[in-house]
Each structure stands twice: as structure tokens, then as C-alpha cells.
Structure 1
Amino acid sequence: MAQRKLFLGARLKRLRRERGLQQSAMAGELGISASYLNHLERNQRPVTAGILLRLAEVFDIDIKGFASDGGDRAGAEQLAEIFSDPMLGDLGVGRSELVELADNNPSVADGITRLYTALRELQRQPPATGGSDPRVLITPETWVRDYIQSQRNHYAELEEGAETLGGALGDPLSVAEPLRRRLKEAYGVETKVVPPESLDQASQAYDPQRRLLMLSSLLRPENRTFGIAYQLSLLEFHPIIMRMLDTARPPDPGSRRLLHMSFANYAAGAIMMPYGKFLRAAEQHRYALDRLCADFGANVEQVAHRFTTLGRPGASGVPFFMLRVDPAGNISKRYAGESFPFSHFGGTCPRWHLHAAFQTPGQTIRQLIETPDGQRFFTISRTIERPIRPDLRDDSLLAIGLGCDVRHAPRIAYSDGLDLLNTPATPVGPACAICPRMQCPYRATPPAGRALAVHENTKTISPYPFMAN
């Protein structure tokens, strides 16, 4: 870094946007003037070593990654996925161009991603039956997922309030009763467990006229606790959540309601597992899921999701990514505290053992994986039970996968006994349509923009052999 000038304007601007800061606010955090920061963002001044160190201290970034020549890897990977679409594949846009675009013009890259997402959502919708259709093209769940990811799934305001409240409630193992009392004493809300028939298809419902929170008797104990914490969050943090919604500016009422629920869910988990206490326990027990479930009265999914929220500057945890899938491979949750090695628009690579978790229910499967660019990740996968089963004959499970860059693996108990340097990693790809691996027997589709190399006299290991570029 000392031998070359670093012009990192686009990365500074993206960092500032991700943290929701104006230039004056970020400049104040860095101890420089707003005009100097403006020069840095416009690449009229190089970033000095002192500013890099201050960035690392204030915003908890990895200096090497921030100042590397690799560019905006996450943004480039999304663009690569988009430009692999057959509609664009004939353009032959190279990875170096995509890296340059993502790194130097992040807003343009975000705009392309948003337009492509809208196109994909439009393709999923049934054709209109007549007349103009004013539907919003990006569905609420897609918009909320992307917004949460843009915030790195961490909300300082909610964390602060939940940590204060959670700490005041006492022992996390017996937090359900204090939560119930808080609802009653502060807001006059009674809590009752009722037969599922009373709630139709709901797992819980709040009647504001009667000031009554009803929880299904089919809910597991930790999910009842979470349900009480969720309702308390809606009431306790109403002003904070309203400000956050106004700042987020959802595009339609459906997206706003879904984001509202997501914020309340986030706060509920933060109440059950207050940030400082949970982070200390996670580091002490080295992210052992079952031990943390026992200490905080939570279930595996709740703890796993909490792992992805530990992004407080100066006090961050391991930056996990997390997915939840059903036996058919449908992804119903996708969070990332840092990088994410799989497709943002499709599914996961079949070589990742997340899918094998259904064959060994209740067991934790660990695996080293390696993406085509050589980045290695340590992952764990296991099945989880659904929070509620409306049909008691339905015993189907879900599975979660957690992972992080391999450099964080020594902090995780599940890596014990595994030679992280010499153990071969399973080669995986982001998705078959954009995976460059040529000899993969698991390939389900040919890669976009590549000529097939099939011949009637030869059968290959991969069902879709293709020509190298």
C-alpha cells in the first residue's frame, strides 16, 4: 500500500451508502472534512494509510480486502450471473469489465441488478388477463431480502433498544414470563395459549380491541417465547421501527408491511439474545449451536439467524452466511454477514452438503468448499424442525446451512480436528448456468454462453461438456 497510490472513491461511496451516512457524518467519523471526503470519493485524492486504519477502526472493515485490486467481488458476481443469461450471453462481457463496472460505478451496477430482478419477477407472474396491470414488478419478499442484505442484516438502533430491554428482563432461560409481564404491565396486553382451531391457519394473532395475544398450542416453547418477544417489539420499538421504515422507503404497501415484520422479528431475536451477552457466549463456546440454544432458550434456527446479525462496528462476530431450504431445495431464507458464494437469483450447488443434511437428521455436517476463484469457506449444515405443524402427520424437516470464509474457521468449534490448510475442499460453483467448472458430474444445465462439446461417439463425466473460452 505504501508503494502505490490508492484511489478508492467508489468503494468509499458504497461503504457510506451501506451505512446510511451523509458525507458530513462519515467525514466526522473519520476525523476529516466533508470536502476532503468528497475529493476522496471523486478520486481526486488518494486514500492514505491513516485513513485506511481509521476506516478499519470505525467501520470494522478488512483493510486488505477493501484496498485490494480484486474490486467489488460481490457486485461483480451478481453482474456475472446476470450477464450469463441467454438474453445477454452473446455480448461476451468479460469478468474484468464487470469488476470494473461494479467497482467504479456501484450505483449503475445496483441499477442493472434491480432491473434484472424485476424482469425475473415479471417472468414468474401469470400473464395479465386484460387491461393495464400496475403491479410492482419486484415482489415484496425480493425487495425486502435485498434491502436487508444491503444493510448487512444489522440494525444498530434496534440492537441498542433490545439489549437494554433484554438485559432488564433477566435470565434468558426464563425470559418468557418477564416478556409476558412486560406486555401486560406496560401495554395492557394479555397472553394466552389457545387451540390451533381458534387461529385458523395462524400460529399467533393479536387482537388490538381485546388487547389479547393468542399463541397456538402447537408452537414449540422457544417459538412461543419468540412470539411474545415479537409482539412486544411491535409495541416497544414502534417509533424506532417507523423511522427505519421511512428511511428504507419501501416501494409499495406490501413491501412496507413485510419489512415491518422483518424488523420486529429482528428485534425479537435481539431481545432473546442480547447483543453483548450473546456475542460473549458465542465466542466463549466457539459458536456451538446446541450450547447457545441451551444458554438462551432458543432453537437452532433462531441462534443461526442471530449469528448473521453480529456486525456491530468494533464488536463483531464471525461473518456467517445462512440459508434455509426445504427437501425440494427451495430457499426460504438467505442472509449474509459478508461474502456469499452461491447464486443470488437461483439455488445452491448440489455439491454443498446442505442437501445431504436431510439424510442424517439432527447431525451437524461440516465441509470445506472452494469457489471457482479459489476462495475457501468452512460450512456446517443440519436439519431443523418446523416451528409448527398444522398437520401432525407431516414430519417433514427443513435444513439450514451456515458458512464463513475459512480464515474464521478456527474460531468455530466444529472445525476442531480438521486440517484447514491441507484438507481438500469440495469444488462448488455459484449456479450451473454460470459455473465455469468443466468436469462436474453434477452439472444440471450447460453454462450460458459456452459452446457444447458433445459427440455421439463419446460420453463424458459431465452431462454437458463445453468448450473452454
Structure 2
Amino acid sequence: MAERKLLAGHAVRRVRRQAGLTQAAMAELLGISPSYLNLVERNQRPLSAALLVRLAERFDFDPRTLTSGEPAGGVDALRRRLADPMFADLEIDRHEVAEWLASAPGGAEAFARVFDRLGGAGDAAGAAPAADDPQVLVRREVERWRNHFAELDELAEGVADELRQSAADLGAALAERLRVRHQLSVRVLPAEVLPDRLFRLDLHARQLQLSELLGPAQRLQLLARQIGQSEARVPVEALVRGAGFSDRAAERLYRRHLLGYFAAAVTMPYARFLRACEATGYDVPLLARRFGTSFEQVAHRLTTLGRVGARGLAFCLLRIDRAGQVSKRFAGMSGSPVADAAGLCPLWSAFEAFARTDTAVTQLVELEDGSRWFSWAHVVHPAVGAVAGVRARYGIALLLGADQARGWAAARGTELGGEAVGIGLGCRACTRRDCGQRSAPPAGHALLVHEREGGVTPFAFAGD
């Protein structure tokens, strides 16, 4: 926490109000001026380490509560909710949102919860999962941390350094660490022995059993994850407890995400991975080869580079299928509205990747809010062969703000200031009128049906 710039005005204000103090009275107890305290509460000044210590000493205040994130997920998460077409006429800018969070954090959190419950966090098919859906709960918690868990990264870097010293081959080093430190042997078994499993932990035999169907990258991930279950248990369980899930499935899903995060941080240690990203221009295929991982694992890792003082480019990731359903979405530090979209736009070229399985598909797009993004999409196959005669295919799509994309090798040769393709966040959230691909009117707008004329789309709608 010492290395983070803490803007925690909502937490300080809550402590003051619970103590029944005015700003002047609390400032006197803390040995600061009322004007400075006012700036802290309005998030105009960070919470310094010295002030944090005084708060802990003089009030019933646990500094660990600051790691739970801002109300409503912070300014970017709140702005994504306010990007809904029903608020289009209000023209609420970023400054107003920040002021709202600073002055009424409880109200902002209440709005976010109601919005999510009424369907503001829908899936790609447009059906809004319930607010208590385990996946919604876990994704909301990951978003609060912006998918960056500094303590796990630091711990994983230490493990990775030790592994490099013990053996040149990472897989052998991981297996040896499991054998020596955790008394677990690693055994690869034929598919017929594990017909419906990719791995199994047999504590009676003290074996981590892996299916032969797993590829090298997946094996490394599972070995590192098993190490994390023991060596990262304390920080992982602290994060799980801090999330406060009442749903057992959500708790397990979140724990699985954190262990997967730790495993990725072992195979792609933060500092080394960031240096490689900067040296290669964030070249996903090259990074996958260099670190012995898959395209998907590299793409996931790119969304976690939020270390203070050593941040990478701010990527957003979605994993989609041919029907446009989203099975994974990480906004990371990007703040991209696409990560929270209730639907996807058929004009987005990411879907073309399914017809071009050997090459990536790129596109410069512009959303209705005027933000411009460079998109890269590539099809991947899970390394487990066919299941019930079906070999799964997913599209891994990365988006990066056009203002940052000059640092991305995939964008070389693209005129980032040139013409972009206008896309929406699904037809039900899009108010563009000149779209021949529209399949439904936007939510909150009445459908207009004319008997004597017809436009480029059969879904004309009322409203500005």
C-alpha cells in the first residue's frame, strides 16, 4: 500500500461522519488544516502515509479497507454505466462523475447497484444476468482492483527468480519445487485414464495428475497454480475474505481467478514481462513464444500491467465465440466501455477472425462516445482436442485506446488519426440511425413503423 497513490476521500469522510465530527474538529485531531482535509475528502489530494497512520491511531479505522476499491468501481466504471442511451441527453462529463463520487459516494454506489440489478450488466446476447450471479459478483470485484493485484505479483516474482536459479527449464523447475517443498509428484496420464478431466490432485498418492491432452503452456500454468495454492495462500485468502462474498460459488470463482493470476505472474514475471513488452512492441505471438505461454495467456497478462510507476499499455480483453457470446472480459486499466457492453456490434471485425484462423484481424473503431480504439483479434483453440466431437474455437480480442496504440506492433502501418469504423455496444445500446446492420431499436426508444415509406433499416425509432 505504501507505493500506491491513495485517493480515498470517501473512506476518510465515512470515518469522520461515523465519529460525528466536523471537518475542522477532525483536522485538529489529525494535526492538519481544515482546508487540506477538505481536499483529501474531495479526492483532490492523496491520502499520505503519515495521515493514514494518524487515522489508524486516533480512530477505529482499518487501512486494509482502502484496498476494496472506490464506490461503484470508481469514475471509469460509473461512466460506463452512464454511457447507457437512456442518459444520452444528460451529457454528464468525467468531472461531474468525479464530483458525484467525492460528494456522495454512498449515492453513487446505490445507483450502481440498482443499475446493475435492472440489467445494466448484461451479457453479449442482451440478457442481463442477475446482480447476484456468481460471475457478475466476481467480475465486479476484479474490476474494483482493475485486475492488478500487486502483492500477488511481488510474491510471484520472487518465486520466478528462485525457479530460474534452480533449473533452466521452467517446467522442470516447477515440478521439482512441488516435489521438494510440497511433497507432490507430477504425473502425466493417458487420456483414457482421465477421460473427463484435465487434471486431478490426488492427495492420497501425493500426485498432481495431468492429462496428456494438455499443451505445454497449460501444463506450466497448472504447475504454477498448484504452487500458488500453498505459497500464495495467505494473500489469496485475504483478498477472498475482503471481497465479502456470501455466495460460495462466487468465492470459489474468485479464488480460482486469483490463483490463475498468480500462476501467470510466475510464468510471466511482471518486470521481465513488461520489459519484453516494451522491447517487442507488445507483440502477442512473439511474447507467447518467448515465455512459453499461449496467445490467450499473454492477452490476459496484458490486462494486469497496472503497477504504480511501471504501468504497461492499458489493454481491454474479451473472449468471444461465433455467436457473439462473451465468456471472459477484463477492462484492466483501459476503462473501455466495450468490456461492460450488454451486446457486441456486428460491424466490429473481431468476428471476421473466425474465418481467418491463421492471422490476426485488426481494425480502428470509434464508439458513440467519441473514443477511438485499435482492435486486434485472433482465433485460438483450447489445447485439449475435441470434446464430444466438437473442437472449441474462441476469438481473443484486445482493444487499446488509439492514443496509446502507436506503441503496439500490431498497429504499425495504421493511420491512427484516420477514418475509423463506427461501432456500438450492441443494437439495444446503440443510437446510430444510419446503420444497415441494425437488428433491433435501442432500448428506451419507441419503434416507429411507417406504412408508406421505408429507410435503410426496418427499425426506425423515436427520440434524438
Task: Indicate whether the TM-score tops 0.5.
Answer: yes
Shift of the 349–33 alpha-carbon distance from structure 1 to 2, 3 Å rule, reads farther
The CA deviation string for residues 143-201 of structure 1, in whole angstroms up to 9 with x for no partner, is 11111011000001100010111122129983111000000000000111112343343
Alignment match, 1:146: 140
Note if contact 1:11-1:103 (Cα within 8 Å) is conserved in structure 2. Answer: no
Alignment of 1:279 with 2:279, yes or no, is no
Return the alpha-carbon distance in structure 2 between the equivalents of residues 250 and 148 of structure 1: 13
Aligned-residue offset at 1:119: 4.8
How far has the Cα of 1:377 moved from its partner?
0.7
Shift of 1:80: 4.2
Of all paired residues, the percent bearing the same amino acid is 31
| 2:420 pairs with 1:417 | no
Q: Which residue of 2 aligns with 1:389?
A: 385
Distance 1:217 1:103 in 2: 55
SS of structure 1 residue aligned to 2:349:
coil
**Residue of structure 2 equivalent to 1:26:** none
Q: How does 1:46-445 map to 2 (within 5 A)?
A: 47=44, 72=75, 74-81=77-84, 84=86, 94-96=90-92, 100=96, 103-105=99-101, 106-120=105-119, 138-170=132-164, 174-337=169-332, 338-342=334-338, 344=340, 346-391=342-387, 393-421=389-417, 423-445=418-440
SS of the aligned residue for 1:170 comes to helix
Check the 8 A contact 1:443/1:462 in 2, yes or no: yes
Contact between 2:343 and 2:427, CA under 8 Å: does it hold in 1? Answer: no
Q: Which stretch shifts more, 96-105 or 297-306?
A: 96-105
Counterpart of 2:396 in 1: which secondary structure? strand
Q: Alpha carbons of 1:98 and 1:179: their partners in 2 closer, same or farther (altered >3 Å)?
A: closer
Q: CA deviation at 1:224?
A: 1.0
Distance 1:290 1:356, change over 3 A: same
C-alpha separation in 2, matches of 1:111 and 1:209: 49
Deviation, 1:120, is 4.6
Distance in 2 (alpha carbons) for counterparts of 1:236 and 1:374: 45
Answer yes or no: is the 8 Å Cα contact 1:74–1:340 preserved in 2: no
Partners of 1:173 and 1:295 within 8 A in 2: no
Contact 2:386/2:392 (<8 A) preserved: no
Distance 1:123 1:333 in 2: 13
Query: Take 1:432 and 1:409, find their aligned partners in 2: how far apart are those partners?
Result: 27
Q: Which moved more, 1:435-444 or 1:316-325?
A: 435-444
The two structures have a TM-score, normalised by structure 1, of 0.78
Structure 1 residues 465 and 245, CA gap change in structure 2 (3 angstroms): same
Residues 265-303 of structure 1: per-residue CA shift (max 9 Å, x gap): 000000000000000001000011111111100010000
Structure 1 contact 354–399 (Cα < 8 Å) conserved: yes
Q: Give the Å deviation of 1:373.
A: 1.9
> Whole-Å Cα distance in 2 between the matches of residues 178 and 35 of structure 1?
56
CA distance in 1, matches of 2:178, 2:255: 19
Q: Secondary structure at the match of 2:460?
A: coil
* Aligned-residue RMSD, C-alpha: 3.2
Give the counterpart letter for 2:138 in structure 1: V
Q: Could you tell me how far 1:98 is from its partner in structure 2?
A: 10
Q: 2:152 is aligned with what amino acid?
A: L
How high is the TM-score relative to the length of structure 2?
0.79
Q: Deviations over 1:385-431 (max 9, x none)?
A: 1132353742331101101111111110111111112x210101122
Contact 1:342 1:431 in 2 (8 A): no
What is the aligned partner in structure 2 of residue 132 from structure 1? none
**Residues 12 and 123 of structure 1: is their aligned pair in 2 closer, same or farther, counting only changes over 3 Å?**
closer
Q: Distance in 1 between matches of 2:35 and 2:241?
A: 30
* Distance 1:139-1:345 versus aligned 2 partners, 3 A rule: farther
Please state whether the residue corresponding to 2:92 is helix, strand or coil.
Answer: helix
Amino acid at match of 1:168: E
Change (3 A) 1:343 1:237: closer
AA in 2 matched with 1:153:
N
Deviation at 1:16, TM superposition (A): 9.5
- Count the aligned residue pairs: 406
Q: Is the 8 A contact 1:432 1:446 kept in 2?
A: yes
Structure 1 Cα separation of the partners of residues 122 and 282 of structure 2: 40
Structure 1: tracts of 5 or more residues without a match: 1-9, 18-31, 55-70, 125-135
Q: How far apart are the structure 2 equivalents of 1:101 and 1:354?
A: 31
The partner residue of 1:446 within 427, 441, 450 is 441
Sort the Cα spacing of 1:121 and 1:203 in 2 relative to 1 into closer, same or farther, 3 A: farther
Partners in 2 of 1:314 and 1:199 — Cα distance? 45
Moved beyond 4 Å, runs of 4+ = 14-17, 32-37, 97-103, 119-124
- State the shift of 1:462 in Å: 2.4
Structure 2, unmatched stretches of 5+, are 1-5, 14-30, 50-73, 124-129
